[in-house]
Chains A and B, each alone.
Chain A
Amino acid sequence: GEDVEQSLFLSVREGDSSVINCTYTDSSSTYLYWYKQEPGAGLQLLTYIFSNMDMKQDQRLTVLLNKKDKHLSLRIADTQTGDSAIYFCAVAGSQGNLIFGKGTKLSVKP
């Protein structure tokens, strides 16, 4: 079945770049997404990339997509303490629902 995998933890220093990686098994997803979840909150749609793109930049966020390797990454430039959260990679499943990874907990140390 469709599966999305992410590493569980990432720790960086304030001001550094963060790179969160994700791999997926299903290649039919039209869009691929990154969501952010802060403690006690719902999911916030951070950004998405269309499947025929290699890269998308949105202010401090850069998404890279390697369709051949089924690899998606999210780079956050100049990471701030306010970026501390859980980041979820998601792809659209065959039923049109979203399939999420387990989430990567980003800790930003001052």
Chain B
Amino acid sequence: NAGVTQTPKFQVLKTGQSMTLQCAQDMNHNSMYWYRQDPGMGLRLIYYSASEGTTDKGEVPNGYNVSRLNKREFSLRLESAAPSQTSVYFCASSEDTGVKGNQPQHFGDGTRLSIL
């Protein structure tokens, strides 16, 4: 049972470089999410996709773009990386709110990203 798979697990970038974080889920969930986790803070929502074909901004979207490639895959792109984007990034998926409001989010193992 793979659940939510994120790649890569670790990445070091130089300021100004671009990269895409990949996320795939095999639970047939409609909703997917990208969070960042910084020291001393909880997870903060970057972008989410309530269903295939839709994406929306979360709490901290600046500097990021997302693509919901299909129902399984939701990628996060940093176009021009900045040191402030050094963080641990988590992808998650869940059932729809319309199905059951008590459905938890299922998380990937995270991507540790350092920007020099």
**Chain B binds chain A:** no
